Copies of this chain bind each other. A is one copy, B any other.
Amino acid sequence: MSKIGIVFGAKSFEHEISIVSSIALKKVLNDELIYIFIDKNREFYHIPTNKINSKLFSSGEYKKFDKLHINNGGFYKTALFGDKKIEFDFALNVTHGGDGEDGVLASMFEFFGIPFIGPRVEACVVSCNKHFTKNYALSCGVKTLPSLHFTKNDKIEIDEFPCIVKPVRLGSSIGVAIVKSKEELSYALDIAFEFDNEIIVESFINNVKEYNLAGTKANGEFIFSIVEEPKKEEFLDFDKKYLDFTRTERVNEAELSDVLVLKLQDNFTKIYNHTFEGSLIRCDFFVVDGEVYLNEINPIPGSMANYLFDDWAGTIHKLSRSLPKKQIINITYDYVNKIQAAKGK
């Protein structure tokens, strides 16, 4: 049993699903959980585990609990005689979207020396920018669907429909639209550019198969989840997609050939190594004519993809004992001393 700091909420379009996702983890972790909520103003609060409930947050009631601040080594409560540290063995970053998945929290944990499970800065940047994801996948030898990249002031001409318009930086289908004809294009572009000044336009491929595979690496060995074939409607909207975030029941495994499973795992490995060390991620793949394409990387998947693993809690514990170590940096002042010596001071 560990003491795990569940960090969630934050200034993010996915603030609410982070709340739901974090609460779901109560059912799948037998550890002592320390809930650290980041409110929309980026203030930290310690929410007692036995009190946690989604209503606390919408009502603003969370403010009656202890306010914390972050500093070297962790989170602290201001107390009359010095600050009191909130103890935990490691933090689990369950902050979907902004702050959690864009590198902000990873940086804060890094700066303040807080051990954590979650994507590091580079991993965040390559997964939360869809244009970068494609470049990154390419450089790892993993295919993605062809796409065009535009910025707000570009002249945009599209001739193939249907296509999918996606803001470059938001996850969770926000601002994403399937465009069936030229007439629908400018509306979809307006919506997408409301969320970002860069977009990508992908071909919409019919009868594409979708498979999700989660996994992590601990002590140099990969641990894979089962492969899930997500329920497909033409396109999952925000609400439907986020049913995932409350899930704690095991889903059925997709019926796939061993060859295809190995192919998916091989692609996962290429994406994960070494950029995603320290995190448990879900890769969403497309399969078209037996070829595997990366659709997206979820560096903090809904309810941490617990429902895809035989022993998710065990996996998290293994991972927590195998977090990436940072380079030791010796600061000697040799260079400054040399300059001073040269100046004769």
A98's partner among B19, B72, B329 (CB-CB below 8 A) is: B329
A335: chain B residues within 8 A (beta carbon): 16-17, 20, 238-239, 242
Contact B340 A55 (CB under 8 A): yes
Query: Chain A 55-97 against B: per-residue CB contact (8 Å), 1 yes, 0 no?
Result: 1011000000000010110000000000000000000000000
Q: Within 8 Å CB of A40, what residues of B?
A: 329, 331
B-chain residues with CB within 8 Å of residue A195 when the two chains form the complex: 327
**Chain B CB within 8 A of A1 CB:** no
CB distance from A324 to the nearest CB of B (A): 10
CB distance from A114 to the nearest CB of B (A): 12
**Chain A interface residue count, Cβ-Cβ cutoff 8 angstroms:** 67
How far is A178 from B58 in the complex, measured between Cα atoms in Å?
59
The residue in chain B whose Cβ has the minimal distance to the Cβ of A345 is B55
- Is A110 an interface position by the 8 A CB rule? yes
Known: A19-B336, A104-B111, A329-B98. A72 touches B43 (CB 8 A): yes
Complex contact B54–A339 (CB within 8 A): yes
Q: From known contacts A16-B335, A242-B335, infer whether A121 and B125 are also in contact, taking CB-CB under 8 Å.
A: yes
Contact with B along A313-342 (1 / 0, CB 8 A): 000000000000001010101111111100
- Interface pair A151/B274, CB less than 8 Å apart: yes
Inter-chain CA distance A58–B149, complex, in Å, is 48
Residue from B41, B58, B72, B98 within 8 A of A337 (CB atoms): B58
Stretch at the interface among A129-137, A261-269, A289-297: A129-137
Number of copies: 2
Bound form: Cα–Cα A104–B30 in Å: 33
Q: Which stretch from A7-15, A206-214, A249-257 is at the chain B interface?
A: A7-15
B102 x A336 contact (CB < 8 A): no
* Contact (Cβ within 8 A) B121 A104: yes
Task: Give A242 to B338 CA distance when docked, in angstroms.
Answer: 12
B336 touches A197 (CB 8 A): no
Residues of B within 8 A of A331 (CB): 11, 15-16, 40
A112 on interface, CB distance cutoff 8 Å: yes
Q: Are B132 and A42 in contact (CB under 8 A)?
A: no
Q: Collect the chain B residues with CB atoms within 8 Å of residue A197's CB.
A: 274
A111-B108, A121-B102, A336-B19 are contacts. A139–B129 as well, Cβ < 8 Å?
A: no
Contact B98 A13 (CB under 8 A): no
Residues of chain B contacted by A72 (CB below 8 angstroms): 41-43
Tell me which of A13, A20, A135, A195 has the highest count of chain B C-beta atoms within 10 A of its own C-beta.
A135
Inter-subunit contact A12/B138 (CB<8 Å):
no
Which of B16, B17, B329, B333 is A13 in contact with, Cβ under 8 Å?
B329
A103 at interface by CB-CB < 8 Å:
yes
Asked if A184 is an interface residue, CB under 8 A from chain B, the answer is no
A281 within 8 A of B: no
**Contacts of A105 on B, CB cut-off 8 Å?**
107, 111
A177 at the interface (CB under 8 A from B): no
**Would you list 13 pairs from A and B whose C-beta atoms are within 8 A, ordered by A residue?**
A40-B331, A58-B333, A99-B111, A102-B121, A103-B107, A108-B108, A125-B125, A125-B126, A126-B132, A135-B135, A135-B136, A239-B335, A239-B338
8 A-B pairs closest in CB distance? A107-B107, A58-B333, A125-B125, A16-B335, A104-B107, A135-B135, A40-B331, A103-B121
